[in-house]
Amino acid sequence: MKAEAFTSCKATQAMIEKTSREGVTTVFHRVREKKTCPFGSGGTCCRLCYMGPCRVKDDGQDAGVCGATAETIAARNFCRMVAAGAAAHSDHAREVALVLLAAARGEAPGFEIKDEEKLWAVAQDLGIDPVGKSKNQLAEEVALKALTEFGQQEGELSFVRRAPQKRQEVWRRLGIIPRGIDREIVEMLHRTHMGVDQEYVHLMLHGMRTALADGWGGSMIATELQDILFGTPVPIRAKVNLGVLKPDHVNIIVHGHEPLLPELILLAVRDEELLAQARAVGAKGINVAGICCTANEILMRKGVPVAGSVLQQELAIATGAVEAMVVDVQCIMQGLGQVARCYHTELFTTSSRARLPGVTHLEFDHHRGLEVAKEIVRRAIARFPQRRKVEIPVEEMDLIAGFSHETIKYILGGRFRASYRPLNDNIINGRIRGVAAVVGCSNPRVRFGDLHTTLVRELIANDVLVLVTGCAAINCAKEGLLVPEAAEMAGSGLREVCEAVGMPPVLHCGSCVDNSRLLIAATEIVKEGGLGEDISEVPLCGCAPEWMSEKAIAIGQYFVASGVTVGFGVAFPTTGSAKLSEFVFGGMKDYVNAHWFYEPDPVAMARTIIAHIDAKRKALGIDVAKERVLYDMDMRRKLEVV
């Protein structure tokens, strides 16, 4: 099959053709050989015990050996995905909290507190009085308090109090406020064990609780503590796509999700001794680029170029220009090892939680992280003379990233009048129709990146402001959607706002844990007033058109539980059960005033999102522009002054 069938990205096409010529197998080759399991994709294959595994038809009569029905099996599988996704984000957060604690105690060379203002704000949200404490004393208390959120057995997670009061009341009424992050994940796994919870609605309610432990717990802790350690992102210009690799430099790619070691690698590559070593082997310098969510983390704080999203990890190595690829956790393909062996690239695993067979393991330890970073850089330099043929695609694109929820406030109102008021006013007056969050992975079972970009173009053309994270952000960036000039593609109202502020119509808000920023942004809209008293009333929708990971399910579920309707493309893991799908796509709304929807076509998904936003506008009474009235003196006298 021709490379054009996989993607419209020219750089990706070139590398697919190159690997095909060279006999190197990548994700794009493997996906054509593997068929999806119809029972597995619909959620009705049960592997929880070895009386089976059982594949169950949804005909009202079939059941597993134990008697489990299609809806029970699908609900268990769905909830296990939520638990795994929440565990991934939360384990990431735990590692960041441990590094913050070590940095505060002076035990982590290379790490320091970069954002003291954010430290104070987070401390107060965690119930800690910051007054009279040094920066490091306060950071130590914040880290210790964050770590207690994981093992807490009773009560409520601290960040839950950030949500609108009305949303908290919904959660309390349903009994789904998370008590502790680890507790909810463990209980979810227990409930889905063979012979435990077998009522699908009851399972799904705890699935919401587990997801909330991610969104308002693990992910939010990761985001906030990373801002404290590395600085809260502000808008920054950079480059994206495989063309950011440099033929005359030592190229190091960092890939994964935890920005801890990558931050130290960025420090190490500025070391004059290492730069001299690079020049001694014929390189002009050392170039660091990112893949996947690590890319988003160091992009939005340091302006480090992005080589690509998750599906380009093998292709980056295939350029022949990458001396070292450094990976940690999540979205790392095992095929990387085989591809790296075809070239001169040294592949490093660095997390105690993840290894690849036949790959160099150089473990990150925050007590000696800078030593590890320098060792990786030295070994990358040593690989430079081993290069063979280098073929770097020319494609690269400008982007602007770094729109944290604090930044959005700032760009709308300035330092002294920072506020969501201009955003709310422009939603109320109709210049901005509403807001859509387009998030999630890339999936090779659809044309890579096209669902994201087709959907986003349709949304902004209809005056919907788009917030992007993760690989969705990278794919949109490659198509020129993350620069102010993209406002030319927007509808007249959104274009007017973007041009007045000088911002793109598509805002890069970070990595996958940074979806928690979107929860805070939605809450800020509610608090600002004029658009309802709960997140569920705001003209807002979320979607993941190309999702593929369990983390995406966890993210989607915590958005739905927070009052945001969410759409997924590609496939949906409940469609094997009519009863469960009926609940997920509709009945869930009776519990949390939001629901899921499934739509694989990006244009149809855009229409569904726009219709949802329009329905929210109508419910708020802002669907029709109010007629302007010129008041005479008699009318003014009749006005009541409060």
Known binding-site residues for [Ni-4Fe-4S] cluster equal 257, 293, 331, 441, 471, 512
Separation of CA 161 from chain center = 22
Q: Give the dihedral sign, CA 32/38/41/45.
A: negative
Residues of each annotated binding site: 37, 45-46, 49, 54, 66, 257, 293, 331, 441, 471, 512
Return phi, psi of residue 631, to 5°. -80, 130
Tally Cβ neighbours within 10 Å of residue 361: 13
Query: In which element (H, E) is residue 464 found?
Result: strand 464-468
The first and second tokens of residue 277, run together, are: 């070593």
Return phi, psi of residue 254, to 5°. -105, 135
The first and second tokens of residue 379, run together, are: 């070994």
Cβ proximity of 491 and 460 under 8 Å: yes
- HSE on the CB side for 83, CA within 13 Å? 23
Q: What is the DSSP string of 332-374?
A: --THHHHHHHTSSPEEEE--TT---TTSEE----TTSHHHHHH
Tally Cβ neighbours within 10 Å of residue 62: 13
The first and second tokens of residue 152, run together, are: 């807490």
Closest CA to 389 of 3, 8, 19: 19
The first and second tokens of residue 575, run together, are: 């469609």
Tally Cβ neighbours within 10 Å of residue 601: 14
3-class state of residue 72 by DSSP:
helix
First to last CA, the chain: 71
Tally Cβ neighbours within 10 Å of residue 308: 31
Closest CA to 198 of 305, 46, 423, 319: 46
Angle between helices 292-302 and 260-268 (to 10 degrees): 60
Q: What is the DSSP string of 125-190?
A: HTT---TT--HHHHHHHHHHHHHHHHH--SS--GGGGGS-HHHHHHHHHHT---S-HHHHHHHHHH
DSSP 8-state code for residue 36: P
Closest CA to 88 of 289, 290, 292, 231: 292
The Cα-based distances of 131 to 103, 124, 137, 362, 599 in angstroms read 20, 10, 11, 41, 51
Closest CA to 492 of 429, 548, 449: 429
Q: Give the dihedral sign, CA 159/162/167/170.
A: positive
Residues of each annotated binding site for [4Fe-4S] cluster: 37, 45-46, 49, 54, 66
